[in-house]
Amino acid sequence: MTRTAGVSVREAALRMGVSIRTVQQWVRRGAPTVRPGGVGRGKSALVEIAALERFRGDLRAVRESAPCAPDLEVIARALHGAYWRPQEGRQAPTWRLLGLKPWQASAVLCAALQSIARELAGRYLSEGELPQSARELIYAGIDAARRVPRAEPNAKNGIVILADCLRTGPGAPTGSGDDR
């Protein structure tokens, strides 16, 4: 039995023209490895370029054939419902029972939706691509955060996060945030 020599994650990323983080994500998602990685310096997984190329092709095929929009619409409606309506047998929505503020709940739910979109579609969605129920949830959170007294500095962060969800997903560069 011949054993194929693998290359480091860094070398694979360089040869394939992707980031190291991308190759690491592929490995976490099940890309074949010659040697699994460990914790610490020099313990990176060893991978075979040809196997990674096949894995990348399989990911693309799944993304292109999978109908993302209906799934995301259902998820967005469920998150919208979780924000506005109490669960069965409860008097208030879960976020209120947990002591969260409306803008905090909206920011978390919208960031979660964008993360789900990234998993399903391979990217964050722009405002026009977001389901209507997701946009309503974001706008409700922004409105709630704008009504918060200035003494609470995290409200501004909430507005920034929610505005990012409208642009290209949580963590998108937005500048200083003073334009909101």
Do 134 and 76 form a contact (C-beta atoms < 8 A)?
A: yes
Q: What digits encode the pLDDT tens for the residues 149-170?
A: 766 767 777 777 787 777 665 5
When pLDDT is cut at 50, 70 and 90, the band that residue 43 belongs to is: low
- The residues pairing with 8 across neighbouring beta strands, listed in sequence order, are 46
Residues 114/118/119/122 CA torsion (nearest 10 deg) = 170
Let me know the angle formed at the C-alpha of 179 by 127 and 105, rounded to the nearest 5 degrees.
55
Residue 55 confidence (pLDDT) = 81
φ/ψ bin of 18: left (φ > 0), alpha (ψ from -120 to 50), beta (otherwise)? beta
Residue 35 confidence (pLDDT) = 74
CATH of domain 7-65: 1.10.10.10
Integer CA distances (angstroms), 126 to 2, 43, 159, in order: 48, 38, 17
Let me know the angle formed at the C-alpha of 70 by 68 and 76, rounded to the nearest 5 degrees.
95
Task: Tell me, rounded to whole angstroms, the distance of Cα 87 from its chain centroid.
Answer: 25
Q: What digits encode the pLDDT tens for the residues 83-137?
A: 888 877 888 888 888 888 888 888 888 888 888 887 777 777 777 778 888 888 8
In the chain, the percentage of residues whose pLDDT exceeds 90 is 1
Do 141 and 106 form a contact (C-beta atoms < 8 A)?
A: yes
Domain map (residue ranges) of the chain: 7-65, 68-167
Residue 131 confidence (pLDDT) = 82
Provide the 10 A C-beta neighbour count for residue 173.
7
Provide the 10 A C-beta neighbour count for residue 175.
8
